[in-house]
Each structure stands twice: as structure tokens, then as C-alpha cells.
A and B are shown apart, each in its own frame.
Chain A
């Protein structure tokens, strides 16, 4: 045990001495979450809209108030007739125009059906779709309020349901994804680099000539990175919670346990990479190309897996981060317990066992 601790201490010295890398490792999650949270957010705030209210009755006014009360829309101007719509779009700073038909409120009261039109500037299709969804959601909400009061079913068929993330907050989705990415980066990349570094410098040979068991050497090398990864994950959780108000609805202990499971899985991946590469450069490239890209692209972090063509959907199944993101989204946002995420947990454990066995198999010939 003393030998093991001597080894871990040496590994910690390595990490602390290389303070540039350490700053990057600890600073990266902070910068990334601030970037994703504030800058690369895919939610739209303060979009300028114009309104053409041809009804000017209580219902249309109430709806307009409701729309403008959100932080998504800012009223740029009221229009007075339809011919103004196109010019105002052409000026370019209006994202959406909302039209109420004449007699909107009356028709709603008497015929239970009224029409409104939403015209969005689709030169930026993502923004247009999102604004449209926001608008639909708000209108639907208004209908439901009215329905409850008057028991008059409306037949306007707008259905936009935002479950769990009613406000479509982007940062809710980014925090779980970021945890996965950062853990991937620190755990897999740094362990594979630190192990290949010993090979490259020739110190691995000396270590193997000592009475230390190879498995113990690897374990001792990995433990400090386990700690570092865990600290990183905590930083992201705290930032998400205090800066962006991302909730943790589920059991915190379960969340931390799942994070440790994922870290171990990724560490085993890093060990595997180090067994098949012998230089730091190759290990770095293998980690970046082989792990980071699939994690970013195929885990559902940025692009929904459901929207991918089926071959990519199949491939996404072998990306451990995909399962991890499902798990932590479940725990953080939906308050899921182990009963709801046990399947994904078992899959992660499977990855862990698989990569450890593979590493042992690959590592052996090099020792003998």
C-alpha cells in the first residue's frame, strides 16, 4: 500500500509541476460552460417582432400582452395594414410578424374558432422555427387559460409541448453534455497521454523492472486523474446550478455515483488507447479523433440522435457518452431514480468491463 501511495504521490507531482496543463484542465470546464451557456446558446431572446392587430379587442390585446411579457419578444412596431409586412421584413431587423384577423375576439367567443397568422423570417430557419414554437406555446397556453374559464373548446389546432424544459433553455441541455465532454477529455486523453509518456521516456521500462505489478502501476497512474475529473464535474455542476439555475431534481448521490461510473468507463478507454499507441502524439490524436468527435457529434449533445439517419443512430449506441447523457439528463432534469436509468447504467458498466478486459489482453504482450 505504501508503494502504491508513493506512486500516486509521484503522479500528483507530475500533474502539479505541469501547471500550464493543469490550468487548462481546470479552466476549460469553466470557459466552456460560460461559452455554451451565454454565447453559443440556441435559445433566442429579445427577438424584435411587429404586430398587425386588426381586431383590437380584449382577446387580441391580452394575447399581445402575454407574448410581450416574455423575454423572447420585443415589440418593434404596430403595423396598420398588410402591405407593410414585406417592407418591414426587408429592413431586416424584424424576426416575426403576428397578425390577428378582424373580429378575432368575437369569433373566438361565438364560433370558438379564430385565426391568427405568424410570419417568421426564415432566412435563418433555426431562429424562425424556434420563434414559431415559442409563439405557438404561448398561444396554446392562453387557450388553455380561456378554456378553463369558459368551458368552451377552441378548435385552433396548435400543439407545441415543451416538457421538462418548458422555456427551451439551452443551457439545461448543455450542462449534461458538457459534463460528458469534459470528463471524456480529461479522463481519456490525459490518462492515455500520461501512460504513453512513460513509454516514450523509457521510464515505463524501469517501472516494469521493479516489483510493482503492471496493473498496480496503471491503477496508480489513473487515480489522480479520477480525482481531477471528479473535481471538474463538480465545478460544472456548481456553475450550472448557481450561474444558470440548472436544477438537480434527482438524487445527488445517484448523480455522483453515475458520474464516477462514467469517469471509470472513460479512464478504461484511455488505458486502452495507451496500450495500442506508443507515443504521446498518437495517443493525443487517437483521443481527439476517436473519442471527442463521436462524443460531440453522436452523443446527442448537439444534434438529436433521433434526427440522424439510421446508420448513425446505430453507431451512436457505441458512444458511451450517449448513455451517460441520457442518465444525467434523467436525474438532473426529470428527477429520475435508478429505476428509470438502470438500463443505461448497465450499458455503461458493460463498456467499462469490456474496455478493461480488452486493455488487459492488449497490455500483456508488452509486459512479457
Chain B
């Protein structure tokens, strides 16, 4: 059975020919894609392929050189303030304050997204419970193990109930067990209708995504569900596919 084609405004992210140039260098070259509500969209690519640049444009941190995009139905060029209210962002660098406790971090980020103290209090207790962090709620984040920090950072990024959450290599340096737990959190969040836009290096993680795009040299070279892509390129794993697409570049560099 053919699924109904969603109307344009039903896309949580809709990107048309988005381009970013830094001087003569084109970091992102006319990329186009869209994501549906509640979808887990994997944004793959080698280092320097332009993933972070594209993501920063969608978060309103960079202004595109050309092209259009809407995030939560708002134009990233003209309505970036409205976009920012509806997204969560977890940066590549660890993005919580190490000298603040878990509770204080949550209170701070909840506060700057305009949540009331009462809301923050209730949600914090519930969250601490869910993360098994209740005993450590008043420990400075710097003293927590990395895996916990990352899970906490994710929870903070989705604390204000954003429509889309952008995760920039969220599981870097985290052990396999914690990565697994992290992905369970992502699934749970997506089920509630939040779109997950995630960049990653780990090809096994890309198998968890509903759809993935693979960026090479600022362009999107492949786009589809992991299953479709593997069939299309006649490969057994995403790892193989990634090497096949990215390798020509690697050869050129050396």
C-alpha cells in the first residue's frame, strides 16, 4: 500500500538547496532533504564533510549563503527566533556546565527556555528518577561519569519539549552499553513525536535510524532507509556503504 505523501508543512525539517560557503570553500553544497514528525534521521559523513555546518544552519547558528529551509514550519532565514524556541541542541563538545549540579543545569536550561519554576521542579524530579540520578542530583556534573553526562545532556536538550532535537555526535567516546541506553532514550523521545536529527561516526548506530543521509564533500550522496540503501548499493552493512561512498575522497587526500 502506498503511504500518503505528507503536505510540505507536515515536514518537521524541510531543506531545499541549502548552501554554505566560507570564502571560496563550499562547506555545504545545495543539499535537499526532509524529515517527518517523530522520525529518527541519521546525518552521516566523514569529518569535514559539512555535517556540523549544515546542522548549525538549521539551528540558527549560521546564516546560509543560499537556499531555503524550514524547521518546525518556520523559515530559518527569517524566523530563526521562532525556530530556536522549538528545537533542542546538543553540541559535539559536552554542553552542560561542569561546575553546576545536575539539578542546577536543568533549572538553568529550563529557565532560559521560559519554563516556570513549578514545571521545572516537577519535571526534574521525574527525570532524575528515570535516569537513576536522584542520588546524584546535587553532585556537580563534572564529577559524573561521561556516559551519565551524555544522557543528562540529552535529557536537558529535550527538557523543554522541543519539536526537533539536533544531536551532534552525541555518543562520542561513550562505552557500548551506555550507547545502547542512549539510543533507547532516543527511541522513547521519538515515540512521543519529537524528530531526532543525529550526526554520528558509528555506522552501527546508523542502523538504528529510520532514514539516513550520507554526506560527502558538502553534498548528500545517498539518502534513504538503511535497508533501502544497502539493497541499492549491494552492500551487507552501512559500514561497507560508507567506505564505498567516502573512499574516493580519502584516496584523493593522501
A residues with CB within 8 A of B: 2-3, 5-7, 9-10, 13-14, 17-18, 201-203, 205-212, 367-368
B114 CB–A CB distance under 8 Å: yes
For A216, the closest partner residue in chain B by CB is B112
Give the top 3 A-B pairs by smallest Cβ distance, nearest first: A6-B111, A202-B93, A209-B89
Q: Which residues from B are CB-within-8-Å of A206?
A: 89-91, 95
The B contact surface, by secondary structure, is: loop
B19-68 contacts to A (CB < 8 Å): 59-63
In the bound complex, residues from chain A placing their C-beta under 8 Å from that of B91 are 202, 205-206, 209
Cβ A14 vs Cβ B99 within 8 A? yes
B97 and A10 contact, CB distance less than 8 A:
yes
B81 lies within 8 A of chain A by Cβ: yes
B97 contacts A3, C-beta separation under 8 Å: no
* B113 partner, pick from A202, A203, A210, beta carbons under 8 A: A210
Determine whether the beta carbon of B94 is less than 8 Å from that of A202: yes
8 contacts between A and B (CB under 8 A): A3-B112, A6-B110, A13-B104, A201-B98, A202-B91, A205-B95, A209-B59, A210-B113
Output the least CB separation between B113 and chain A (Å): 6
Task: Evaluate contact between A3 and B114: CB separation under 8 angstroms.
Answer: yes
Query: Is residue B140 within 8 Å, beta carbon to beta carbon, of the partner chain?
Result: yes
A212 x B95 contact (CB < 8 A)? no
A-contact bits for B81-102, CB 8 A (1 contact / 0 none): 1001101011111111111100
How long is the Cα–Cα vector from A59 to B94 in the complex, in angstroms? 82
Q: B143: shortest Cβ distance to chain A, in Å?
A: 12
A221 to chain B, nearest CB (A): 12
| Complex-state Cα separation, A171 to B140, whole angstroms | 44
Q: Is the CB–CB distance between B112 and A210 below 8 Å?
A: yes
B151 within 8 A of A: no
Q: Is B107 an interface residue (CB 8 A)?
A: yes
Q: Name the distance in Å between A125's Cβ and chain B's nearest Cβ.
A: 52
**Closest B residue, CB atoms, query A2:** B111
Having A2-B111, A10-B97, A210-B89, one finds 7 other A-B pairs with CB under 8 Å, namely A2-B114, A14-B97, A17-B100, A209-B61, A211-B85, A211-B112, A211-B113
Chain B neighbourhood of A9, CB < 8 A:
108, 111
Are A211 and B92 in touch, CB under 8 angstroms?
A: no
A17 to B112: give the CA distance in the assembly, Å. Answer: 21
In the complex, the answer to whether A6 meets B99 with C-beta atoms within 8 Å is no
A5 / chain B contacts, CB cutoff of 8 Å: 111
Q: B62, B87, B91 — which one has the most chain A CB atoms within 10 A of its CB?
A: B91
